[in-house]
Amino acid sequence: MSLATKKVLVLNADFQAFGVCNVYRAFLLVFMNKAEIIIPAENITLCTVNRAYSVPSVIKLNRYINIPYKGVMMSRQNIFKRDNFSCLYCGSKNNLTLDHVIPRSRGGQSTWKNLVTACKSCNSKKGDRTPDEALMDLAYQPFKPSFVLFLKNFSGLNEESWRPYLEVGVH
């Protein structure tokens, strides 16, 4: 993995997951004494002409940043990630679209709990009906993921060193 694509977990001063940034941003935060390295990346260093620095895997901010609400933005891509890029009706991974569980024509909203990933075939088959009316079962009920749950399960970033900080209620 190149340094340009490597991600670093950023913790708030209370050790709660705050976000993810690239190595260069994390290194700058550490270099400017705004953060400290909690866990360095294994076998990776950032070299200058006369010094080698540890590349961080997890950093902690030195000052607590108050965030009133940290949620996951609802987007097409994030719904696909939540649903593992699979149709929730048949499991297909091809020709994916979004489907409103309760159709918009019946007052269904575009929310985390009403949007699911569906292949074009299942979306057409379901049409303007609910899954029950169309006799189609969902693999699971759609849900709004928490920020930490999204980082842990759906972001595609599976750093083993991050695991202790992404377990709910650990710190």
For the chain, the structural domain boundaries read 7-69+147-166, 76-126
| Structure token digits, residue 73 | 């933005």
The whole-number pLDDT of residue 170 equals 40
Fold of the domain built from segment(s) 76-126: DNA Binding (I), subunit A (1.10.30)
pTM, rounded to two decimals: 0.66
pLDDT < 50 regions, the chain: 169-171
User: Residue 147 and residue 120: Cα distance in Å, rounded?
Assistant: 29
The gap between the terminal CA atoms of the chain, to the nearest Å, is 29
Strands (E), the chain: 7-11, 17-22, 35-47, 52-61, 96-100, 115-119
pLDDT digits (tens, 9 = 90+) for 113-139: 999 999 999 999 999 999 999 999 999
The whole-number pLDDT of residue 159 equals 76
52-61 and 7-11 beta bridge pairing: parallel
